[in-house]
Structure 1
Amino acid sequence: MSMDPLKLPFDADEMLAGLRPWIECESPTHDAAAVDRMMDLAAYDLAQMAQVERIPGRLGFGGSVRARFPHPKAGEPGVLILGHMDTVHPVGTLAKLPFRREGDICYGPGIMDMKGGNYAATEALRQLIRAGMETPLPVTVLFTPDEEVGTPSTRELIEAEAARNKYVLVPEPARDDGGAVIGRYAIARFNLMTKGRPSHAGARLSEGRSAIALMARKLLEIEAMTGEDCTFSVGVIHGGQWVNCVSSLCEGQSLSMAKTQKDLDDGVARMMALAGEENGVEFRITRGVTRPVWEPDHPGTMAMFEMAREIAAELGFELTGSSSGGGSDGNFTGAMGIPTLDSLGVRGKGLHTLTEHIEVASLPERGKLMAAMMMRLT
């Protein structure tokens, strides 16, 4: 059946109605049961079109969903749609940030990052199947549970699935100008710990050695290392239990980002060199998960980007492409050298905040973009 995928009847209102249950199923990364409930909803929607597998979670995280769509070339390298269903918003955020539409925008936890894009990709497949249009290559969808904390439990699963495929489409939210991502910076995470000596803060203050005081000094030292080549930030701190006790333990987490692997390696070395002991307080640093640099200008990725640009022009907008800070699971597939196009998802603002929202019109726009990509990739 020769039909233009850009003329398929994508409907913003219908898409929003289908997306709503996904948004109202809160799924913060660290709540495995909540993430699994979200995976159930996605599995139900995908099972109407594809062979669906539920892959159990590990390391305390939720599970994944993999859907393989029927195709004469099933099993041959095809197109992988890669998305995460975890969000940064704790359960209960809906009370402060309910699903609500105000004219051209719609609010909700995780609607931009990245349930909106995942839903647009799912709808793209639904529209193609309904119209009887067969993609040149087989399509697989993989939704994972732990991207927001650096993908500690599913990196191998993602890499194994990507290795079986020819192309990877990642419906992470679009860049501010609606653009796509063709490369991403490297990211390293660090776990920080200071161990002090407790004492009564009133009667025996001088006998104690404060873990919090050293962590505070180290935090300033770490953030002062930020430069053009490599950034450093401390995003989590927990310390102390009693105000009348000199703190014996303080823990934190830090993140570092660089445009090249060499700059990241240098940054990691500078970070690790901060460990040691000061004034009877020990400062320990251990490496957390890392995202490798996904270098831009890969020929396969650039060819995909050119195709996406042509489709966007037919849809009436100019699609830009650039390297981006902020990691995604596209880092892994891009670093493997598999042509990857990221940030094909919805337009919006306020991701990771209590104003997170999308432009409703971007749901059909991105659905059409991804449907056309799947029809043209060979």
Structure 2
Amino acid sequence: MPERFQELEAEAILAGLRRWVEIETPTGDVENMTRLLDVVAADFAPLGASLERIPGNNGMGDHLLVRLPWGGGPGILSVCHLDTVCAPGSVAMRRNGDHFHGPGIADMKAGGYLAFKAAEHIAGLAHQPNMPLTILYTSDEEIGSPTSRDIIERLARESRYALIAEPARTDEVITFRKGRAKYRLNVEGRQAHAGSAHASGRSAISEIARQIVELDKLTDYSTGTTINVGEIGGGTTPNVVAGHAFCTIDVRFSSAEAGRAVDETILSAGPISCDVTIAASGEIEKPCLERTAGGLMLFGLAKSISHELGVSLIETSSGGGSDGNFTSAVGIPTLDGLGAIGNEWHSPNEYVVVSALPRRAELLRRMITDLD
């Protein structure tokens, strides 16, 4: 086997990737996730990998744990999600020049498949890496990893490094991701007739509007904290003072300290108007993927490898989260965005750049073999 992936392998990699993409796996589609995990397990079986199917719960599919026992001691963890967001049949698989479109192809079935190809390639080499490789394929990342987070964090604590194959928009990797929190405010007022008893009513909608004004003040672009009230509701008809109202809130933050501060502020929210009650619920769902010395060491290695491949690798950040947020938060060096190059994920036009598949596979392979 050649020591590195060749550019001519792009079409062969795409052909294998299509097999995974053709089985559409929106989050919660347990039957199709089972079918896909069967295919993934069959692909890994000839490599001598240890395979463990972790049963799903709460309506989610199973997770697949792949262990390749190279080297000894704590090793490398790669986390790849196989769930997607588009409804089955809503995204047509098609070729458009160097772009191949398909449901979840970039985010992140291609990354998961490149992790397999890297492992397959390494297994065929005469010299094995110095550390074992663990790959976890999950079924629930697109909704926040509610059933896989504990598994990810446990595996991260057992590992030295985490390599996350989420997609990239160009030759780049991600060293920082914002954290995310979600909340809901419920307000109870006093319902009354808007004409004959307006003074005795207490409008929950008016209170939620005042709360939103205060929430907006928590946005601070200088620190990277943003508050978005994305949904509001309440009341019944125009001639009734609203007795109930609510809003939902998305928070993004750039440090653990900022996340805790906003969390405390929202959860302790009290009424602004008289004679109304307010109840806040929610939590921090994803901690930050911090830009750490360990992460920058991994970026330095990736940049050096990319230079050998004739590519200038870019360091970037993201306001969106991934499972890399969890691995970073438990304290292990994490490098994200190591998957396929593409764009327009979560849309009918999602695609990968076909010609870039071999060099991204090679980057991932070299990261695995060169770390010690």
TM range (shorter): 0.7 to 0.9
Alignment of structure 1 residues 171-190 onto 2, 5 Å: 171-174=165-168, 176-190=169-183
Q: Cα deviations across residues 19-73 of structure 1 (Å, max 9, x unaligned)?
A: 22322322222444444443333223223322211001233322211011243x3
Alignment of structure 1 residues 69-218 onto 2, 5 Å: 69-71=68-70, 73=71, 76-89=73-86, 91-92=87-88, 94-95=89-90, 97-174=91-168, 176-195=169-188, 218=211
Other-structure match for 1:297: 292
In 2, distance between residues paired with 1:52 and 1:213?
56
Distance 1:150 1:278, change over 3 A: farther
Deviation at 1:198, TM superposition (A): 7.3
Residue identity in the other structure for 2:57: R
Other-structure match for 1:342: 336
In 1, distance between residues paired with 2:277 and 2:42?
51
User: Does 1:68 find its partner at 2:70?
Assistant: no
TM (norm. structure 1) is 0.84
3-state SS of paired residue (2:146)? coil
In the alignment, which of 228, 232, 242 is matched to residue 233 of structure 1?
228
Other-structure match for 1:5: 4
Query: Which runs of 5 or more structure 2 residues have no equivalent in the other structure?
Result: none
Other-structure match for 1:47: 45
Deviation at 1:178, TM superposition (A): 2.5
Q: CA RMSD in A?
A: 3.2
Deviation at 1:311, TM superposition (A): 0.9
Residue identity in the other structure for 1:103: G
Deviation at 1:203, TM superposition (A): 12
In 2, distance between residues paired with 1:351 and 1:297?
27
Q: Tell whether the 8 Å contact from 1:211 to 1:247 is kept in structure 2 after alignment.
A: yes
Distance 1:18 1:226, change over 3 A: same
User: Does 1:288 find its partner at 2:283?
Assistant: yes
Other-structure match for 2:262: 267
Q: Tell whether the 8 Å contact from 1:277 to 1:283 is kept in structure 2 after alignment.
A: no
In 1, distance between residues paired with 2:4 and 2:134?
19
Distance 1:211 1:303, change over 3 A: same
Q: Tell whether the 8 Å contact from 1:212 to 1:247 is kept in structure 2 after alignment.
A: yes
In 2, distance between residues paired with 1:267 and 1:296?
21
In 2, distance between residues paired with 1:28 and 1:201?
45
Other-structure match for 1:361: 355
Q: Cα deviations across residues 340-377 of structure 1 (Å, max 9, x unaligned)?
A: 11110111111222322221122212111111111111
In 1, distance between residues paired with 2:371 and 2:238?
61
In 1, distance between residues paired with 2:305 and 2:354?
20
In 1, distance between residues paired with 2:207 and 2:348?
32
Deviation at 1:104, TM superposition (A): 0.6
Other-structure match for 1:312: 306
Q: Cα deviations across residues 164-212 of structure 1 (Å, max 9, x unaligned)?
A: 21111100112x3421112322222223444567789999999987767
Q: Tell whether the 8 Å contact from 1:184 to 1:323 is kept in structure 2 after alignment.
A: yes
Deviates more, 1:235-244 or 1:190-199: 235-244
Distance 1:310 1:155, change over 3 A: same
Distance 1:128 1:291, change over 3 A: same
In 1, distance between residues paired with 2:238 and 2:355?
52
TM (norm. structure 2) is 0.85
In 1, distance between residues paired with 2:235 and 2:103?
31
3-state SS of paired residue (1:270)? helix
In 2, distance between residues paired with 1:251 and 1:62?
32
Q: Tell whether the 8 Å contact from 1:190 to 1:285 is kept in structure 2 after alignment.
A: yes
Query: Which runs of 5 or more structure 1 residues have no equivalent in the other structure?
Result: none
3-state SS of paired residue (1:5)? coil
In 1, distance between residues paired with 2:274 and 2:126?
72
Deviates more, 1:28-37 or 1:260-269: 28-37
Other-structure match for 1:24: 22
Q: Tell whether the 8 Å contact from 1:6 to 1:372 is kept in structure 2 after alignment.
A: no
Identity %: 36
Q: Tell whether the 8 Å contact from 1:276 to 1:284 is kept in structure 2 after alignment.
A: no
